[in-house]
Amino acid sequence: MDFNDSQQEAAFRKEARDFLEANAEKRSIISDKPNDKSPQIAVAGAPETVKGGKEAAQEALERAKVWQKKKAEAGFAAILWPKEFGGYGGSPIQQVIYSQEEHDYLVPSGYFEIGIGMLGPTMMVWGKDEDKKRYLPKMITGEEIWCQLFSEPSAGSDLAGIKMKAEKDGDEWVLNGQKVWTSGAHFADYGMIVARSDPSALKHKGLTYFYLDMKTPGIEVRPIKQISGTSNFNEVFFNDVRIPDSQRLGGEGEGWKVALTTLMNERLAVGDPPGLDFDQIFEATKELEVEDGLAIKNSEVRQKMADWYVQSRGLQYTKFRSITALSKGQTPGPELSISKLVTASKMQDVSAYALELMDSSGMVHHDQNPVLKNLFQNGYFFSAAMRIAGGTDEVLRNIIAERVLGLPQDERADKKVPFNELPSGKN
């Protein structure tokens, strides 16, 4: 057992580190920057719009694009992608090494991951050659941003239950309906969408998958104000949106299969959100006072901290086990499936407990007079969303139970019934 890089890995790590050192600023445990939104960087989505309205958001977007261009020029923006599309043509272990290094730096993130991590790979599998040539390189450089139009008001955890209508009209398709929880739709240039082309088929059979220009007439994007007060997710309305059949990915009725390609890449795209963890509350307990002195000296506090430490490091070492497999050129086991499930709840517990330690000053969530840079106040809200986004805690437990442990699927009422005959409640 050792934690050493192989010679090639060490060389790549140096390359990554040199690039980051020259181009980015190091992150501190509890950031000194009052506007550092690091705990709010979404786990499976774009960053929340920066407080300060549209202008600030636009500025942040421009900054992100500048960074992405640099990163792409250095080759680090899409390490796993083949060179012909502007990728690095690298290995999973190199992606891991770069992410490890970038994790220590304050860099914009959350704008390009869905495209590069999930949608690009979907186009590589299902798209035509001219599409790949046209769209993939600009996805990497950040010149064009993509969003994923999957969830609907009545189809969240049960994603295949989508109702967005896709009706064929000659060489065109006409889309009508609503998508929701679309990260970054308000700044995205393109999107990928699953819609129902045959409501009389079985639920998973009647779907078709497309890509589209977000400026296509009939598309309306409305931001959703979230628990944190900011907006990252959107509702997207489709009103007689006409797109050519050439923008279809996969066959008619094959949409679910294509969507699975996208979703299978989700785990890889969903990085490690920097931010709120054991290290932050450990620092905080050295500053905060409780009834008998510094919080770090209180035995109840210490007992709780130990739990978070073993969760935090347990996850880190679990990742090391997966990386070991990658480094040997093997496929990692299912152990990393626990990651978001543990991280989100830990963040929520850590935030809530840190607010407790602040006592009444934990009530304050003020930009100009922040308590410990608002880290835990922000985390308190962000973690509630994180337990839902990218698969709820409950869905993740089902996935572990069924796919990892091999337990039987739940009884389902929707297996043998045409979609339009399924009971659907109010929606």
Partner 1 sequence: MNFDFSDDQKLLRDQARKFLFDKCDRKSVRTILDDDQLHYHKELWSQISEMGWTGTAIPEEYGGLGLGMLELCVIAEELGRSLAPTPFSSSIYLFAEFIKNYGSEDQKKKFLPLIASGEKIGTFALSETNGTPKPSNVKTEYSSEKIDGYKSPVSDGETADYLIIAANSDNKGNRNSLSLYIVDLHQDGVSKTSLETIDPTRPACSIKFENVKAELLGEQGMAWDMTENIFNRAAVLYSFEQVGGAQVSLDEAKKYSMERFAFGRQIGSFQALKHKMADMYVKIELARSNAYYGAWALSTDSNELPVAAAGARVSASDAFNYAAKENIQIHGGVGFTWDYDCHLFYRRSKLLSLNIGSTRQWKENLISNLEKRNIV
- In the residue annotation, 266 being an active-site residue is answered as yes
State whether residue 210 is helix, strand or coil: strand
5 or 252: whose CB is closer to partner 1?
A: 5
Q: Could you count the other beta carbons within 10 Å of the beta carbon of residue 413?
A: 9
Smallest separation, CB 196 to partner 1 (Å) = 27
What whole-number distance in Å separates Cα of residue 304 and Cα of residue 298? 10
- DSSP per position, 282-344: HHHHTT-EETTEEGGG-HHHHHHHHHHHHHHHHHHHHHHHHHHHHHTTPPP-GGGGGHHHHHH
**Region of 169 on the Ramachandran plot (φ > 0 left; ψ -120 to 50 alpha; else beta):** beta
170 or 406: whose CB is closer to partner 1?
A: 406
Contact 396, 57 (CB under 8 A): no
Smallest separation, CB 321 to partner 1 (Å) = 6
Of 81, 98, 215, the C-alpha closest to 138 is 81
| Angle, alpha carbons 404-408-410 (nearest 5°) | 115
**Can you give the binding site for partner 1, defined by CB under 8 A?**
1-5, 9, 278-279, 282, 296, 299, 302-303, 305-307, 309-311, 313-318, 320-321, 323-325, 327, 335, 338, 341-342, 394, 396-398, 400-402, 404-411
Of 68, 90, 65, 86, the C-alpha closest to 13 is 90
Kindly give, in sequence order, each residue whose CB lies less than 8 Å from that of residue 113, ignoring residues fewer than 6 positions away.
269, 270, 271
Smallest separation, CB 315 to partner 1 (Å) = 7
* Residue that the structure tokens 């942040």 belong to: 60
134 or 313: whose CB is closer to partner 1?
A: 313
Of these residues, 9, 266, 283, 356, which one is catalytic?
266
29 or 125: whose CB is closer to partner 1?
A: 29
Smallest separation, CB 284 to partner 1 (Å) = 12
Q: What are phi and psi of 79, to 5 degrees?
A: -65, -35
Smallest separation, CB 285 to partner 1 (Å) = 9
242 or 397: whose CB is closer to partner 1?
A: 397
Of 152, 155, 247, the C-alpha closest to 209 is 247
Of 273, 226, 230, the C-alpha closest to 38 is 273
What whole-number distance in Å separates Cα of residue 255 and Cα of residue 150? 11
Smallest separation, CB 410 to partner 1 (Å) = 6
234 or 280: whose CB is closer to partner 1?
A: 280
* Active-site residue list: 266
